[in-house]
Each structure stands twice: as structure tokens, then as C-alpha cells.
Structure 1
Amino acid sequence: MENTAVLNKTHSLDSQLKRPRWRQISWQKVLPWIVPLTLLVTWQAVVSFGWVASSTLPSPLAVIQDGIGLIVDGTLPKNISISLYRATMGLLIGGSIGFLLGFVNGLSTHMRALTDSSIQMLRNIPHLSLIPVVILTLGIGEIAKISLVAVGVMFPVYINTFHGIRSVDPELIEMGRSYGLSRQALFTKIIFPGALPTILMGLRYALGVMWTTLIVAETMAADSGIGYMATNAQNFMDMETILLCIVIYALLGKVSDLIAKNIETLALGWQQQKGVH
């Protein structure tokens, strides 16, 4: 029986190796594209057959042509770069503050008692409701937009960093102490690796908040950026540019999420290796 099972397993492996390369493509790589492509084809068909007027809903080809024109005249690259700058700076500032606060409050009982309650109270205030305050205090320049993004991303990073550090198994920490590890070694070898999955989860959530906040910030009192392009196009009833801006925001969000997932894969590779062994 054992020999038969071994032969069957060997035959199965041989058959997999002999399959054509195109048949070895994982369905996990194909499935994510089915829904977007179906939506695009349906969208194009609905407009092409006249079921919806092109003035109301331009076709994907019209949106692509509009995008090519904006790329040629330099408008699109300029505004994308400005939006990326605002998003990146807001993420770096807000994420750093959120990480440091979560790190300190997660490790220090006194700091947690002093500041966590106030931070949790501020976290429950919708950060987009602060737009009038930001405009009145910081104006409508770059500092105001970056500050609003920073406030939006700070709290997801903070709460996940704080929760990740507080959720590390106390028995592991006690075991590290029994082996004579210093505080620095405890943090680098036990606490931080144990909290890292939750911290990275907070980063992925913060990226979504980042783009949502930036969209709102750039549609109010702005003279550049993707959000400004959409607002300006709305004034001229330019549906192609409006849809183009929506697609660009979706693509930027997807690229950000892919970057975060790759960071997770690289940073948490030790977990996969542990699972294999």
C-alpha cells in the first residue's frame, strides 16, 4: 500500500512537470483581473451600443484618449507628481508620529496612562471635519493639505502599533528575560517582530485613508493635483477628465496596496520560513 501511494504521488508530480508552461499559470493570478476586465468590456459595450449617451458616460476609449492628450501637454504628469508628493509627505509625517506614539504608549505604562485616553478621544473625531479649522489656521497651501493627510494616517498607524506591541505574548517576553536578554534585545528580537504584522496591517489601512483624505483636500481650495483636475473638469462638464481622475486614484490606491503587500512579504518572510520548518 505504501509503495502504491509513493508511485501515485511520483506519477502526479511527473504529470505536473510535463504540463505545458501556459497550463501552470496559477488561477490566483488570473482571477483578480476577471472582474475589472468584465466591467471595462461592459462599460464599452453599453456606450458603443447607445444604451447610455456618451455625454453622460464616456467610453473607456474616450477616457484613454483624454488621458493621452493630458500626458502629451504635461498636465497629467505634473498633477500626479504633486498629488504623490502631498500623499507621501503626509504619510511620512503622520505615520512617523503615529508609530512613535504607539511604540511609546505600548511599552510605557505611565505614558499610556498620560496620553492614550486623549489620543483615543481625538481619534473618534472625523478628521475631514477639521478642514475648516485647517484652512483658517494654515491657509490653503501645501502645509494645510499635507497636515490633513498626516492627521488622517496617524491614527490607524497609532492604534495598530499600540495594539501590536500590547498583544505580544507575555510568556515570550518572560522567556527572553530568563535568558538574560537586555531591553534592546527584547525589543528587537521579541517585541517588534511579534508586533510587526499588526503594524503593517495598520500601514495598509492608513494608505487607504491617505488617498481618501487627499481627494477631499484637493477638491477644496486647491489649484493643482488630481483632485483639482476633477473639480476643474466638473466646472466645464468634462466627464472624460472626471472619470480619468477617478481611475487614476483607483490605480494609485492599488499600487500603494501592492507596495504594502510586498513590504509585508519581505518583512514577514521569517514567519513563512517558520511555517515551512
Structure 2
Amino acid sequence: MNGRSESLKIAVEKPKTKEFKKRSTKLNLNWLLGGIIPLILLITWEVAGRIGLIEAHLLPTPTKIINEIINMGAAGTLWGHIGTTLLRVGAGFFLGTIAALILGSIVGYFTVFEKLMDPLIQAFRSIPSLAWVPLFILWMGIGESSKVTLIAVGVFFPVYLNIVSGIQGVDRKLIEVGKIYGFTSAQTLRKIILPASLPSFLVGLRSGLGLGWMFVVAAEIMGASKGLGYLLVVGQNTYSPHLVIASILLFAVIGKLTDSLLKNIEKKSLSWQDSFSNQR
């Protein structure tokens, strides 16, 4: 009996192991392919800097920039800046997403609220991010609240737009099925509309996170004493292009890592779809 159960266990685990290895190989291949062009650009940049095609005081070589990052990491200052920026982006992303989810669900589902609120929200969406900076400083000072609020504003609009678009694009037949089962408006929204609009919502999250990383630069210009945006200002004030580019490089790398995390969540959440992407 024990031998039979062991055989069954091995038979079940073997396909899982193969599937895991297949996914791992595919992931590694994707990372390798994605790194080809950046590697070529870095090598070209390094060679051009060393042979004098690019002036070092204007655009330092990648090795000098990487050395700057390593030195900051060894000194212990880098992790504080990265951690502070991550906390600000995380808090702003969470608040902006919650606000967008609530308002987007209401506006997308109720026509009356769309007519009442959407024109005003679209008008606010047209305001440049830097235009909010002096107002938030006047209202909330130069502390963390003004910075997080500015990031939340940046995250809000793309998430809101995608939620509204996703809800309004739900198949009408699904709504009719909910009515047949006697669903209330809240039940229809929770059990039918929100799951059906999930693909659009997840795309909005990725767009919102991207804007959150852009807005954090503007936020950290507002009197910050820590953060990657603060390093940009320090590099500008001290005429240190290697520090400025090191900060930009860190923004790019961390932004890509966080986007990859959301993309992985998106793929797992939508694995039930019979889509072109899932078949590749």
C-alpha cells in the first residue's frame, strides 16, 4: 500500500517538476534576451568614453558610474536613499490605487456619477505634476505627507482610467446573467464586473507604478534630505554628472524590477485566460 502511494506521489510530482524547470528556463531566456541591447549600449558607451568620443566631464563612463554606486553602497549611504524612495513610492502607490479603485468603480458602474465626476477628474488629469508641488508645500509643508500625496496623485489617474474603461467594457450578457440570479448592484460589481475588468485594472496598476516613479523625483525635490531624487539634486548642485547618472540608473533598475513583479502578478492572475500571451 505504501509503495503504491509513493508511486502515485512521484507520478504527480514529476510533471510539476518538469513544468517548474520549463518556466525557469523560459524566465532565464527572457532575462538574457532583454539584457542584450542594454549590454551593447553600455559597451558602446564605455568604449566611446575611453577613446575620447564622449567628454568624461559631461558623460562619465559606465565603469565610473558603477564604481560610484559601489562606493555609496560600501559607505552605507546608498541603502538609506533607496529605502526612503521605495517607502515613498509604496505608500503613494497604495493610496493612489485605493482611491482610484473606489472612484473608478463608482464612475464606471453608475452613469449618473460618470456625468457628475468624470469631467472634473479629467480636468485635474491635465494638470502637470510640478504644478501641484507649491500647492502641496503650502498645504502640508515639506514633510513626508506632501511627497506621498504627490506620488498618489500621479498613480491615481492611469489606474482610474483603466478601471473605468474596464468596467464599461464588460460584456453586457454577463450583467444580464447577474440580474437573472437576482444580484444586487453591489454583488454585480463585486462578483461580475470587477473580475471581468481585472485585465484592464492590472494594466492600470503597471502604468500607475511607472508614473509613481516619475512623480517621486518631483516629490523629492520638495526639500528632501534623503532619497534617489535628493541624490539627483546633490549631483546637480555639486556638478557631479556621475552621481546624477548613477541616480538615474538606480531609478531605471529598481523601476524595472518593480514593474517585473507586477507583470508576474498580472500573468499569474490572468493565467485562466485563453489569450495569445498565455500560449507563448
Which TM-score bucket, shorter chain as reference?
A: 0.7 to 0.9
How far apart are the structure 1 equivalents of 2:50 and 2:33? 26
Q: CA deviation at 1:126?
A: 2.0
Q: CA deviation at 1:239?
A: 1.9
| Partner SS state of residue 53, structure 2 | coil
Instruction: Look up the match of 1:157.
Output: 159
Q: Which moved more, 1:265-274 or 1:118-127?
A: 265-274
Cα deviation, 1:26-54, whole Å, max 9, x if unaligned, reads 86554321210000100111112222232
Matches within 5 A, 1:11-160: 28-160=30-162
| Partner SS state of residue 197, structure 2 | helix
Can you give the 5+ residue segments of structure 2 that lack an aligned partner in the other structure?
Answer: 1-21
Instruction: Look up the match of 1:170.
Output: 172
Q: CA deviation at 1:184?
A: 5.3
RMSD: 2.3
How far apart are the structure 2 equivalents of 1:28 and 1:208? 21
How far apart are the structure 2 equivalents of 1:251 and 1:140? 27
Is residue 235 of structure 2 the alignment partner of residue 210 of structure 1?
no
Cα deviation, 1:146-184, whole Å, max 9, x if unaligned, reads 111111111111111111111101112113322455555
TM-score, normalised by the number of residues in structure 1: 0.84
How far apart are the structure 1 equivalents of 2:200 and 2:121? 19
Q: CA deviation at 1:130?
A: 1.2
AA matched with 2:208? A
Q: Which moved more, 1:118-127 or 1:209-218?
A: 118-127
AA matched with 2:150? L
Q: CA deviation at 1:111?
A: 2.7
TM-score, normalised by the number of residues in structure 2: 0.83
Cα deviation, 1:99-158, whole Å, max 9, x if unaligned, reads 110011222233333322222222222232111111122111111111111111111111
Instruction: Look up the match of 2:17.
Output: none
Can you give the 5+ residue segments of structure 1 that lack an aligned partner in the other structure?
Answer: 1-20
Q: CA deviation at 1:212?
A: 0.7
Quick one: structure 1 residues 29 and 146, their matched pair in 2 at CA, closer, same or farther if it must change by over 3 Å? closer
How far apart are the structure 1 equivalents of 2:185 and 2:273? 23
AA matched with 2:64? A
Runs of 4+ in 1 over 6 A off after TM superposition: 24-27, 273-276
Is residue 258 of structure 2 the alignment partner of residue 256 of structure 1?
yes
- What count of residue pairs does the alignment treat as equivalent? 254
Give me the identity figure in percent: 38
Q: CA deviation at 1:55?
A: 2.3
| Partner SS state of residue 225, structure 2 | coil
Match of 1:193 among 189, 192, 195: 195
How far apart are the structure 2 equivalents of 1:28 and 1:91? 27
Q: Which moved more, 1:135-144 or 1:111-120?
A: 111-120
